[in-house]
Structure 1
Amino acid sequence: MDIYFQDVGFTYQKGTPFESKAIYDIDLSIKDGSFTSIVGHTGSGKSTVLQHLNALKKPTEGTVTIGGRVITNASDNKGLKSLRKKVGIVFQFPEAQLFEETVGKDIAFGPKNFGSTEEEGLLKARELLPLVGLDETFMDRSPFDLSGGQMRRVAIAGVLALEPEVLVLDEPTAGLDPQGRKEIMTMFYDLYKNKGLTIILVTHQMDDVAAYSDHMIVLEKGTVMKEGHPKEIFKEADWLASMQLGVPSTVKFARELEKKFDWTFDSLPLTTDELAEQIINRLPSNGGGSL
């Protein structure tokens, strides 16, 4: 399911003395089956764009097209519920939204809200637990007796229970240690590859953008500044710095190697595996240059 923004703007409290334009002239495209990252420093408009991705907000100006549905400021709110089933959003610290007495019931809540029976919802919960790294023994446990990481996985399962075509992730690794961050992002990438989900990642973690994304959108002061493949955008480290954004640690290390050894990499390495492969190819035993 493709998503397009055309000339999209949004103003909070429009028509009042307190009106504030959050985004303007937004043109972007997110293709079905892509893993897209949206980046930008605080205040760039990421959160407002995110809330347009499943019509939590309607544009003040322009149009948002989600699949075959065109949303404008005049769109009827009553017709948007089915759209929110297709585009699931995992908000920051989703574990704060848990409320049921058992894990199974919490995951089943969404399907029940869309017409499933409790039995169908619980069956869906049982099927989803392994996908988020938990087993069936969690079904009857209280979500509030779990660790923070486990609670987050339950909350994610609750979003997946609606069987969305698009999964929007708002800083999904916030508050996690490096190992927890890696586990969560690996889980999302497996869902992307094995379930055919379109993933939209809103993040400050440039290493995650480099490791998982095939499309990148840079926001600044409420509008899109660049859109393209991460490999192309991360080449412009000085420009990103002017946007108060960094580059992945692998890119930073590659640039240091280029300066120290007067190298030019064949292509910008975004992951440690890509960097290691290019370094190995430069070793004398492999016919490369000297260190």
Structure 2
Amino acid sequence: MATEIKFEQVNYWYQAGTPFAVQALKNIDLHITPGSFTAVVGQTGSGKSTMIQHLNALLKPSSGTVTIGDQVITNETNNKHLKPLRKKVGMVFQFPENQLFEETVLKDIAFGPQNFGVSEADATALAKRMAAEVGLDESLLSRSPFDLSGGQMRRVAIAGVLALEPEVLVLDEPTAGLDPRGRLEIMQLVTQLRDEQGLTIVLITHQMDDVANYADHVLVMGHGELIKQGSPREIFSDPKWLEAHQLGLPSATKFAYELQQAGFRFDTMPLTVDELADELAPQLQKGANSHE
């Protein structure tokens, strides 16, 4: 799978050409490589959701071009030509369980493929496979999706998107409203899907720990512009810049900066709990030895 994503000078206005026109995206240039895990961060209203809706042409650019694989989308692109793209780029919206509607879990997961012309028998087989892929027990398939826990309902919604066999999986705050364990399970699932199926992952999140633990590239949006991009280490290397843009630090990095004020030294600022432990262990051991 090799679906490359490019935005070139993308602008988008809501209610374009009316007195109420609002520019939501301004001159966006970006490149998402196949198989990468890209996190999109920024304050509410920064343009994150508008930007990701261009990834499967729910929105088309007012000007500029969006290229996904071999498909180039402009303001002139005919909607008739977009159906294959919606199969290639799977979109999981925030609180996706609100989009469940079938009487059983199995029918809900099979709905998408049938909508794209897959036979009922093949769609059912595919739905069973994707349910197993996201860790849903077979005993749940005949139940109503509304009888499940929040985390299970979210897995059903993700399985329904995976049943379209996309090459890119776009997730808008996939852990919103879940407890810490549910959040961890969903993020581990997303990582597993990327590793096993070679999916390109695009994740909108406010959880900086998830950015540090899982992403390899970060896009920072602000007031409709792409204001910074880079690896998590590059993005989190400047706490003052993050604070100025009302963005947080991963908890391990925040703790490390506080320890630095107390005299601890870090060769590299840790992003994760494991990195923090590795940096602290020799310093704590040295301190213990000096007191013997």
TM-score normalised by L of structure 2 = 0.96
In structure 2, C-alpha distance between the alignment counterparts of 1:65 and 1:286, rounded to whole Å: 55
Q: What corresponds to 1:43 in structure 2? A: 45
SS at match of 1:52: coil
Letter of the 2:277 counterpart: A
Q: What corresponds to 1:174 in structure 2? A: 176
Letter of the 2:275 counterpart: E
Where structure 1 has 5 or more consecutive residues not aligned to the other structure, the ranges are none
In structure 2, C-alpha distance between the alignment counterparts of 1:7 and 1:30, rounded to whole Å: 15
Q: What corresponds to 1:94 in structure 2? A: 96
Change (3 A) 1:279 1:11: same
1:101-116 to 2 correspondence within 5 Å?
101-116=103-118
After superposition, what is the alpha-carbon deviation per residue over 1:154-178, rounded to whole angstroms, capped at 9, x for unaligned?
1110000001100000000111111
Identity %: 61
In structure 2, C-alpha distance between the alignment counterparts of 1:286 and 1:277, rounded to whole Å: 15
Letter of the 2:185 counterpart: E
Q: What corresponds to 1:281 in structure 2? A: 282
Task: Tell me how large the CA RMSD over aligned residues is.
Answer: 1.6
In structure 2, C-alpha distance between the alignment counterparts of 1:60 and 1:287, rounded to whole Å: 63
TM-score normalised by L of structure 1 = 0.96
The equivalent position to 2:79 in structure 1, one of 77, 80, 84, is 77
Q: What corresponds to 1:33 in structure 2? A: 35
The number of aligned residues is 289
Letter of the 2:262 counterpart: K
Q: What corresponds to 1:133 in structure 2? A: 135
The equivalent position to 1:200 in structure 2, one of 197, 202, 205, is 202
In structure 1, C-alpha distance between the alignment counterparts of 2:290 and 2:127, rounded to whole Å: 55
Residue 247 (structure 1) shift: 0.7
Q: What corresponds to 1:252 in structure 2? A: 254
The equivalent position to 2:5 in structure 1, one of 3, 6, 10, is 3
The equivalent position to 1:119 in structure 2, one of 98, 118, 121, is 121
SS at match of 1:218: strand
Residue 152 (structure 1) shift: 1.1
Letter of the 1:6 counterpart: E
Letter of the 2:282 counterpart: N
Q: Is the 8 A contact 1:282 1:289 kept in 2?
A: no
SS at match of 1:43: coil
Letter of the 2:211 counterpart: V
Change (3 A) 1:227 1:208: same
In structure 1, C-alpha distance between the alignment counterparts of 2:21 and 2:269, rounded to whole Å: 43
Runs of 4+ in structure 1 over 6 Å off: 286-290
Where structure 2 has 5 or more consecutive residues not aligned to the other structure, the ranges are none
Letter of the 2:85 counterpart: L
